[in-house]
């Protein structure tokens, strides 16, 4: 088996998607290992998950910097210190500038709780309910310089129930996030691929 790719994960909150990745990386045939976790929020429970798994972690609060440029310089420096091959956004609630994107693209992955290109940004479950959709879901995509506009790797659909509110819909979508995020990371790392325009083409695809 080829040497595992080195992954750095950015988080802001509970880190349930981080835990799904930690669990997946425990398999001997998983093509990546998490070499570091960064949170922009002190006390984020995701940091406890990293510590429990003996993964190096750091808190780099955006509040301690004068602006986004200095904050991102610190993120980039820490990720490069860990010699990451990939950057994974697992509930990281900060918009990244082109400076950060260009430092690691096209090897930045994100999980988003809607069926992109529908409902990018935040507050997406309520937006989906307000619009009246009957199906929502989640998307794993490469990160580009837009907001949730990068090439799609994987999606999972979740039916919207008549009695759903934003919280109940989000909870069911989260179950699918935990399933497809590790699977998408396995696919993008282990299979040859290239970008054709804004589309990902896997070399073994017909």
- Reply yes or no on whether 62 is catalytic: no
Catalytic residue among 62, 112, 141, 178: 112
- For the residues of the chain, what is the DSSP string, one character each? -PPPEEEEEEE-S--HHHHHHHHHHTSTT-SEEEEEEEESSTT-HHHHHHHHTT--EEE--GGGSSSHHHHHHHHHHHHHHTT-SEEEESS--SPPPHHHHHHHTTSEEEEESS-TTSS-SS-HHHHHHHHT-SEEEEEEEE--SSSS-SPEEEEEEEEPPTT--HHHHHHHHHHHHHHHHHHHHHHHHHS-EEEETTEEEETT--
Q: Which positions are catalytic?
A: 112
């Amino acid at each position: 088996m080829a040497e595992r790719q080195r992954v750095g994960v950015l988080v802001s909150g509970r880190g349930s998607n981080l835990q799904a990745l930690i669990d997946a990386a425990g398999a001997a045939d998983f093509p990546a290992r998490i070499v570091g976790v960064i949170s922009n929020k002190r006390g984020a429970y995701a940091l406890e998950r990293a510590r429990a798994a003996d993964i190096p972690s750091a808190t780099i609060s955006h509040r301690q910097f004068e602006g986004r440029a200095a904050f991102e310089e610190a993120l980039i420096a820490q990720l490069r210190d860990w010699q990451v091959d990939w950057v994974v956004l697992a509930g990281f609630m900060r918009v990244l500038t082109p400076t950060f994107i260009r430092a690691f693209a096209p090897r930045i992955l994100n999980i988003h709780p809607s069926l992109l290109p529908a409902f990018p940004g935040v507050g997406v479950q309520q937006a989906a309910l307000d619009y009246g959709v009957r199906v929502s879901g989640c998307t794993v995509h490469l990160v580009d310089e837009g907001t949730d506009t990068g090439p799609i790797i994987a999606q999972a659909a979740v039916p919207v129930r008549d009695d759903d509110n934003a919280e109940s819909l989000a909870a069911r979508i989260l179950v699918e996030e935990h399933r497809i995020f590790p699977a998408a990371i396995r696919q993008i790392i282990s299979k040859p691929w290239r970008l054709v325009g804004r589309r990902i083409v896997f070399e073994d695809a017909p």
